[in-house]
Amino acid sequence: MSVIDKSEKKVLMISGVVIGLFIFSILYAKDKYQSDVPECIPFDKAYTEPRINQIDEKTFQVFSVASMWQFEPSEIYIPVGSEVDFYLSSKDVVHGFNITEKNVNMMAVYGNINKTTVRFDEPGVYKITCHEYCGVGHENMQAEVIVHQPQTK
Amino acid sequence: MQVSRSLKKVIFWLLGIPVTLLILGIYHGLMQTIYRAGFLNDSSFLKIEYFQGLTLHGVINAIVLTTFFAVAFGHACMTFFLKREPNKKAMWISFWLMVIGTGLAAWAMLAGKASVLYTFYPPLKGHPFFYLGTALIIVGSWIPLFDWARMYREWRRENPTTKIPLAVLGTLVNFIIWFVCTLAVAYEVLVLLLPWSMGMADINVTLARTLFWFFGHALVYFWLLPAYIMFYVMLPKLAGGKLYSDLAGRIALFLFLLFSIPVGVHHQFSDPSIGQNIKFFQGLLTYGVTIPSFITAFTIAASLEYAGVKRGSKGLFGWMKKLPYLDTNNFMFAYLIAGLILFIFGGLTGIVNASYSLNNVIHNTSWLPGHFHMTVAGPVFLAIIGMSTYLYAKMSGKKIFLPKVNVIIPYLWMIGVLIFSTGLMWGGLIGEPRRTNLGMTYLNPKHELFTPEWVPTTMLALLGGIIMFIAAMLFIVVFFGTIFRKSKLEAVLELPYSEAYHDEKRIPLFDRFKPWLVTMAIIIVIAYTPALYDAVTNPGPKAPRFTPANPVPDLLKIKK
């Protein structure tokens, strides 16, 4: 008699197939929806100054700086269809940076730069919520991305 | 078997101390659901702050309770299955280190000087005693491993060709994982955090976080493996059947040894300064750790089916109806089966978390505590409290206080957790953050940040939280009620253990540690060298100290 019985063999095979399917789905989604975890870039002091850079009509760089207990800039106005590179850093403790509707999810860490890219195709107000405990003012720490229709002139 | 007074005393204290502290830990669990649902719009209640309470909740429930229990249960398993006792001196030194460590950390938390949560991420600073206390708990829990290894070697000399008992294998595997993973957190605490918290050095935050998660994911298996030992060794017997395959248990345990540690970076998918490739690679390795869980799911279900059939069940699913769910003399079955049911959902949601970019959807939202309350507050917690009552009653020769209540507790808890976790996970999917005193702003109708979408989700969590609280308090009554009874039975150390349905012949590979330890080391080096390299090279300046109420840092005390 073999060590593994028939139903055990079947279960191992099914498990293998299921895991294979999961991994395939991850790779497929990563490719199709351009969804990825934040990018890894080395620290650069130039990224820690809060500001918004407009590269062209629909392309922005937002240098977001988290501190106890605010994000700077706290209101980010961009036109519909914009692509935004967020560069995130922290002045003090660890903060979170979550835009639920756009699946933007990053940690802001002192001495580190986090980066992700996201497109805003729908107009509206997108809340940026701090989702890591950062001291007594944590539950006040929210900012906004305001995506508006470009003015027709 | 009869055991010495000293061993009994150690085990009783190791069980009793965390259960006593649990009253405080569980209270703060309930309080959070009340704050979060918006019924408290304040930063503190009865002079204990929200985040102080959250720190107590995490440290007591997830570190003190689990570690004390793992050592107590380890002593019991090693003694019972190897028929010899641990060294008395080593046992007591380990005990006192853990107790002193708990005392130091408890003082720091209760004095409000370490509201840094149980992950204690720098540069938010806690009192040095908090870090020192944590380190002592860990170091204290290392000592038994070396003594148990001695017991195992003695037994092996006497029994060179007998398969190592499954419970002993599980205990040793668990503590080897624990020893290796805690080396990283001991380094973090003693070399990075202690000097930093005393103002003697600044800190590389990403390195500290990476070392923490080297430990942090293996920690969850350290919580889980005592429950796995009970599932494999005891549950089939308690159900009235046999373990479907003995070898499956051994394979699962060795796979845990390989894959528990080199997956920690999947907690840092959202972190800066760590490369996407290494994140993806450790995400893949995380799927490796699902294999032993799939094997376990099948083997335990097959064992339970066998038990049901033996009890005369009919049809494909009839065995589910025949199991001893409410047998008061066999209450461990109830605790273990309720935990297993929760673990089905806990395991599945865990796979979601590990799935690389899916992490963007749920990272640090309330989905996360929703998930892990179905693991650590599911099979782990139920196995721990059930076995605490069981071991105490057997070893003291006492009858269970309120046996009918005792057998209902796990199901009540299970229902509570299911409701609670549904609320949290639903909230997480619509952006509700974890670790946040929602009652102050987001769930306060008078505040400009009020977010009505989170009302139903936090209400569900509150309802579940209340049910969990009631179940836990009933357990406290049963446990202490049993302690205050008089001894009427013979006091013995006795653990249920199952025969195997497929008792495969001994395969040397699955009966020795060396090849597995070598493979474990190789995988860890491959998985963690690039992560640690990134954590050292990519970050810029090191961070000074911050306290929760003050954005202005404490700078270095000694200027270099």
Is B221 tagged catalytic? yes
How do beta strands A82-90 and A59-67 pair? Answer: parallel
B348 touches chain A (CB under 8 A): no
What are the φ/ψ torsions at residue B480 (nearest 5 degrees)?
Answer: -75, -30
> Chain A residue with minimal CA distance to B293?
A15
> What tokens were used for B45?
């209640």
Residue B559 lies in a domain: no
Query: What's the farthest any 2 CA atoms get from each other in chain B?
Result: 78
Contact assignment for B206 to A37 by CB distance below 8 Å: no
State residue B558's pLDDT score. 61
Question: SS3 helix, strand, coil % of chain B, rounded to 5?
Answer: 70, 5, 25
Chain B residues with beta carbon closer than 8 angstroms to that of A139: 436-438, 440-442, 449
Chain B residues with beta carbon closer than 8 angstroms to that of A8: 245, 248, 298
Residue A143 lies in a domain: yes
Q: How confident is the model at residue A2 (pLDDT cuts 50, 70, 90)?
A: low
- Active-site entry in B36, B266, B371, B545: B371
B533 touches chain A (CB under 8 A): no
Contact assignment for B540 to A112 by CB distance below 8 Å: yes
Q: Is the peptide bond before A69 cis (omega within 30 degrees of 0)?
A: yes
Residue A88 lies in a domain: yes
Sign of CA dihedral B238, B239, B240, B241: negative
B298 touches chain A (CB under 8 A): yes
> What tokens were used for B388?
């605490």
d(CA A61, CA A82): 10
**Cβ burial, residue A34 (10 Å; 0-12/13-18/19+):** exposed
Chain A residues with beta carbon closer than 8 angstroms to that of B438: 139
Predicted confidence (pLDDT) at residue A152 exceeds the cutoff of 70 = no
> Chain A residue with minimal CA distance to B267?
A107
3-state SS, residue A53: strand
Contact assignment for B363 to A105 by CB distance below 8 Å: yes
Residue partners of B192: CB distance under 8 A and separation at least 6: B122, B203, B204, B207, B208, B211
Domain match, A68 and A114 both: yes
> Chain B residue with minimal CA distance to A45?
B540
Residue B67 half-sphere exposure, CB side, CA atoms within 13 Å?
A: 29
Domain match, A30 and A46 both: no
Contact assignment for A111 to B502 by CB distance below 8 Å: no
Residue B34 lies in a domain: yes
d(CA B99, CA B14): 9
Residue B439 lies in a domain: yes
Residue A54 lies in a domain: yes
Domain match, A100 and A126 both: yes
Which residues 463-502 of B are in CB contact (within 8 Å) with A?
502
Domain match, A74 and A31 both: no
Contact B487, B12 (CB under 8 A): no
Residue (of B53, B470, B345, B200) closest to A133 by Cα position: B53
Contact assignment for A37 to B247 by CB distance below 8 Å: no
d(CA B48, CA B463): 22
Provide the number of structural domains found in chain B.
Answer: 1
Domain match, A56 and A113 both: yes
3-state SS, residue B1: coil
Contact assignment for A7 to B302 by CB distance below 8 Å: yes
Per residue of chain B (560 residues), what is the pLDDT tens digit?
Answer: 999 999 999 999 999 999 999 999 999 999 999 999 999 999 999 999 999 999 999 999 999 999 999 999 999 999 999 999 999 999 999 999 999 999 999 999 999 999 999 999 999 999 999 999 999 999 999 999 999 999 999 999 999 999 999 999 999 999 999 999 999 999 999 999 999 999 999 999 999 999 999 999 999 999 999 999 999 999 999 999 999 999 999 999 999 999 999 999 999 999 999 999 999 999 999 998 899 999 999 999 999 999 999 999 998 999 999 999 999 999 999 999 999 999 999 999 999 999 998 999 999 999 999 999 999 999 999 999 999 999 999 999 999 999 999 999 999 999 999 999 999 999 999 999 999 999 999 999 999 999 999 999 999 999 999 999 999 999 999 999 999 999 999 999 999 999 999 988 899 999 999 999 999 999 999 999 999 999 999 999 999 999 999 999 988 866 54
- Active-site entry in B28, B209, B217, B266: B217
State residue B141's pLDDT score. 97
Of B365, B507, B548, the CB nearest to A131: B365
d(CA B211, CA B18): 27
What are the φ/ψ torsions at residue B434 (nearest 5 degrees)?
Answer: -80, 175
> Chain B residue with minimal CA distance to A90?
B543
Of B361, B538, B550, the CB nearest to A103: B361
Is B217 tagged catalytic? yes
> What tokens were used for B525?
């080096």
Residue B449 lies in a domain: yes
Contact assignment for B546 to A104 by CB distance below 8 Å: no
> What tokens were used for B553?
């840092």
Provide the number of structural domains found in chain A.
Answer: 2
ipTM of the complex: 0.95
Q: How far is Cα of residue B469 from the mean position of the Cα atoms in its chain? A: 19
Domain match, A74 and A97 both: yes
Chain B residues with beta carbon closer than 8 angstroms to that of A30: 356-357
Domain match, A75 and A123 both: yes
Domain range spanning residue B366? Answer: 5-554
State residue A78's pLDDT score. 96
Domain match, A20 and A78 both: no
Domain match, A4 and A61 both: no
Residue B91 lies in a domain: yes
Residue A153 lies in a domain: no
Of B245, B280, B551, the CB nearest to A8: B245
Residue (of B230, B224, B226, B225) closest to B243 by Cα position: B230
Domain match, A28 and A54 both: no
Across B155-259, where does the E strand assignment appear?
243-245
Domain match, A76 and A24 both: no
Predicted confidence (pLDDT) at residue A1 exceeds the cutoff of 50 = no
Q: How confident is the model at residue A130 (pLDDT cuts 50, 70, 90)?
A: very high
State residue B114's pLDDT score. 95
Is B435 tagged catalytic? yes
Residue (of B277, B285, B276, B274) closest to B533 by Cα position: B274
Domain range spanning residue A25? Answer: 1-35
Contact assignment for A112 to B290 by CB distance below 8 Å: no
Contact assignment for A93 to B358 by CB distance below 8 Å: no
Residue B560 lies in a domain: no
Contact assignment for A40 to B272 by CB distance below 8 Å: yes
Of A112, A136, A142, the CB nearest to B273: A112
Query: Smallest CA–CA separation between B432 and chain A, in Å?
Result: 8
Domain match, A69 and A139 both: yes
d(CA B151, CA B455): 55
Is B57 tagged catalytic? no
Is B447 tagged catalytic? no
Residue A70 lies in a domain: yes
Is B545 tagged catalytic? no
State residue B455's pLDDT score. 97
pTM for this entry: 0.96
Q: How far apart are the first and last CA of chain A?
A: 83
CATH assignment at residue B365: 1.20.210.10
Residue A12 lies in a domain: yes
B245 touches chain A (CB under 8 A): yes
Residue (of B402, B419, B416, B420) closest to B474 by Cα position: B402
CATH assignment at residue A115: 2.60.40.420
Is B485 tagged catalytic? no
Residue partners of B80: CB distance under 8 A and separation at least 6: B1, B167, B493, B494, B495
B124 touches chain A (CB under 8 A): yes
Q: Where are the alpha helices (DSSP H) in B83-204?
A: 88-110, 128-158, 166-187, 194-197
Contact assignment for B449 to A142 by CB distance below 8 Å: yes
Chain B residues with beta carbon closer than 8 angstroms to that of A22: 287, 351, 355
B248 touches chain A (CB under 8 A): yes
Contact assignment for A15 to B295 by CB distance below 8 Å: yes
